Structures are given as C-alpha cells and as structure tokens.
Amino acid sequence: MSDFQYKNEERIIFTKEMKKTYKILIPNMLPIHFELLRNILIVEGYDCDLLKYEGEDVIKEGLKYTHNDMCYPCLLVVGQFIYALKSKKYDVDKTALLITQTGGGCRASNYIHILRKALKKAGFPQIPVISINLSGLEKNPGFKFSIPLIKKLASALLYGDMIMNLYNQTMPYEIEKGSSLKLKDRWVLNLSNQYKNSTGFGKKIMTKNFNDIVSDFSNIKINKTKKVRVGIVGEIYVKYSSTANNNIEKFLHKENVEVIIPGILNFIIFKADNRIVDIDLYGGSKIKKYICVEFKKYLEDLQKIFIDSIKKNKNFKAPASFEETKKGVLKYLNYGVKMGEGWLLTAEILELINSNIKNIICVQPFGCLPNHIVGKGMIRKILNNNENVNIITIDYDPGATKINQENRIKLMLASAKENLK
C-alpha cells in the first residue's frame, strides 16, 4: 500500500504525510474570498490551487460522471475537478480535493459521495477528498480545524464581503475605468501579505483594515448618476459563481446596472444559528449549543465592526446585520425552515426591498427544492406586501441557454428602466 490508506474500503484518508507532499485543489466560488482563503491555507502549510476552469468542457465532464438528476452546482464542481485532473497539470498520485459538506437535507449533502464515485469512474480512485464541515461528518488527520485557523478563515470571509460590497457600489460609477478593480486586487494582495506575517485576523487590526478599505474606496472618483439597481439572491453557489450563473454580474454591468449581492457572512452565521434553533426545538447537546452560541457571537461581533466601518462613510450603504435580517422574515417563515438557504433566502429578498432595491433576480439550480419553496414559493406573498417590486427567478442547468436567461433579465430591466424614469 502506498502513502494513502483506505477506511472501511471506501474513503481515502488525507494523512499528515500527505500534507507535506500533496497539492490540494479548491473549486472557486467567490473570487475575492476564496483567493484569501487559499492564501491562508498556504501560510498554514498546505499547497493549494484555486480552480478557475469553466465553459462547455467542464459541463461535459460533469455530465459524464454525475447522474443527470444531480443539481447544477454539483455537476460543475465535479466537472471542474475531473477536467483539472485530466489536464495533466497535476500529479494525480500527489493531488487531493477540498470541498465543503453542509450535512443538510438538500442534494448538496451528497456532493462529496458523488465526487468520490465520479473519481473512481474517471480512473482516479487514489485521490483523497477532504471535507470541510461544521458538523463533524468527516475527519482527516492531515487537515484539521483549529481555533486560530477558524479565526483566520472567518476574517477572510469578512474582508471578502467588505471588498465585494464596496467594489459593487463604486465600480458602476467610477470616472477612471478599472480603478475599482485595481484597488480590489491591491487589497487582496495587502491582506494576503498580512496573513504571511501572522497578522490581519485580530479584532484590532481588522478594525483598522476595515476603516482603511472604506477610506480607499471612498477616494475613488465617481459620477453618481441614476442607475437601475438589481439585487441577486438564490442558491449559494449559483448566486456567487460566475461559472454557474453565466457571468450574470458582467452581463448586468454591460446593461449599465448597479449590482447588489448579499455577503456570505450571514450564511455562515445562519448555519451556526440553525444548530442553536435545532437544539431549542428538538433538544440536544448543551455543549454543542454553547459552542455554536459562542461562535455565532464571535462572528456577529466582527460583523458589527464591519458594518460600523461602512456607516461612518456617507458614500456607502452598509448591509444589515444578521439579527436585523432575521427579524424581518418572521411574518413570512418560521426559523425551522432551514433546508438549503432556508428562511435566509426570503430574508435577503426582504432586506433588499427594505434598502430600496426593488429589482431582484433569484438564481437557482433547476429542480432545487429548498429554493423553490423559500425562493419561488414566497414571491407572491412578498409582492402582495410590497409595492413596485420586480422579482424574477432564473433556473440554471446544462440544458438552459444563456441567451434565454439574458432575454428574461432584459425584460425585467426594461420594466425597471421605465420605473426609474
């Protein structure tokens, strides 16, 4: 047997020895956030590559090795991994794959098992798959969460949300084209260098960085003309991944639109909050509840610093906190509705409306049951309770054509532009 081992003849364990010699491939979802996450893992001693493959070849590989009833994000992630392994860029006997595992009730919980099955079918049975999860579903001796690592990863999500938020508010109005993009890249490099020097993730330095990021973006010269503002919500992968949503942000920017996308931090807090709600509703471990309460409080404390930094500057609109977002949904859904994006999806739509963003696109994989309930299923009630709101849903799957998706969005924009006049 080589330097990998089997457990129950099913799962290949990522060992401590592998950490020293293996390349870990990570599928991209959020360019800013995941670049920072990757750089943190490199500082922690992992050799990582962020995969950016997209297009028809990736889709074909996904269709070839997954069941055609699997949701689109799973198909794309599997396709991206298999395409990378077949590219001959990597030594397949010294490569591991990293993927998140939610443990919830939607199809996403099966991604990791489907990926392993696809690897065997594609001729790569020796490749270990590392699960990142907060449920203790799988453990690997060569990849361990520690409190310092969790704090670093949390800081990357907050910085990513901050840069994404300010970039989206600045870029459509910039006078010097490309200035927002240059600043975004400069801050990703700056923060990555801070991580290399073991700083950037304490509350004090994060407060300074938040203030500096806001200050730098406010110094970009803009011409604040009237534009249609469009919010994007939906299934987490399709919402953020340009590979999955056919570059919807780029398309909207070409249509002279300001794009607003809720950050990922509320989703992470939502996952911790779910475990607390579960124990309150059904009972469970008091120790587990205490850990989740403390983790949630830690993230919300950082979120407050984040929001306060933006509120200090009159040029920008700060996002709502998790608790503010949560309160707004209670007359629509119970907090026990938590499969997939759960009540948070409806709450994000309502938060956008409360921020005077009346044009909303809900993106989702075709056949995504949780999103059909908390996305499509809630639209009529939302429209009944809110005037002049324009919400459309766009399904994404291998058979959906980009031109049809964009035509539907153009119809919505035509109505939005008339309302703006």
- Is residue 134 predicted with pLDDT exceeding 90? no
Contact 239, 364 (CB under 8 A): no
**Of 124, 144, 164, which residue sits at a domain end?**
144
What number is the average pLDDT over the span 359-363?
96
Same domain? 240 vs 378: yes
Establish if 280 belongs to a structural domain: no
Per-residue pLDDT at 3 exceeds 70: no
Contact between residue 106 and residue 90 where contact means Cβ atoms under 8 Å apart: no
Please indicate, yes or no, if residue 71 is contained in any of the structural domains: yes
Whether 387 and 250 share a structural domain: yes
Which domain-ending residue is among 144, 160, 176?
144
Q: Is residue 86 part of a domain?
A: yes
Residue 367, phi-psi category: left (phi > 0), alpha (psi -120 to 50), beta (remainder): left
254 with 365, same domain? yes
Which among 299, 298, 353, 301 is positioned nearest to 325, based on CA atoms? Answer: 353
140 backbone dihedrals φ, ψ, rounded to 5°: -135, 125
CB-facing half-sphere around the CA of 168: CA atoms within 13 A:
24
- How much of the chain exceeds pLDDT 70, in percent? 95
Q: Answer yes or no: are the C-beta atoms of 340 and 299 closer than 8 Å.
A: no
**With 70 as the cut, is the pLDDT of residue 4 above it?**
no
Instruction: Report the alpha-carbon distance of residue 127 to residue 12 in Å, rounded.
Output: 7
pLDDT over 90 (residue 71): no
Cα–Cα distance measured from residue 338 to residue 329, given in angstroms and rounded to the nearest whole number: 12
Mean pLDDT, the chain, rounded, equals 91
Residues 251, 379, single domain; the answer is yes
CATH number, domain of 134, equals: 3.40.50
- The amino acid occupying position 199 is T
Binned at pLDDT 50, 70 and 90, residue 102 comes out as: low
Predicted confidence band at 11 (pLDDT cuts at 50, 70, 90)?
confident
- pLDDT for res 131: 84
Question: Does some domain include residue 369?
Answer: yes
The single-letter DSSP state of residue 174 is B
CATH number of the domain where residue 343 is located: 3.40.50.11900
Do 360 and 249 reside in the same domain of the chain?
yes
Domain count within the chain: 2
Tell me: the pLDDT tens digits for 26-55? Answer: 999 999 999 999 999 999 999 999 998 888
Reading the block at residue 356, the tokens are 């005077």
Compute how many other C-beta atoms are within 10 angstroms of the C-beta atom of residue 209. Answer: 22
CA distances in angstroms from 322 to 57, 168, 301, 345, listed in the order given: 39, 20, 11, 12
Q: Which of 116, 144, 172 is the last residue of a domain?
A: 144
Q: Give the pLDDT score at 2.
A: 39
Range of the domain at 92: 5-144
Distance (Å, rounded) from C-alpha 329 to C-alpha 353? 12
Give the C-alpha separation, 117 to 124, whole Å: 10
Q: Which of 253, 254, 259, 162 is nearest to 212 (CA)?
A: 162
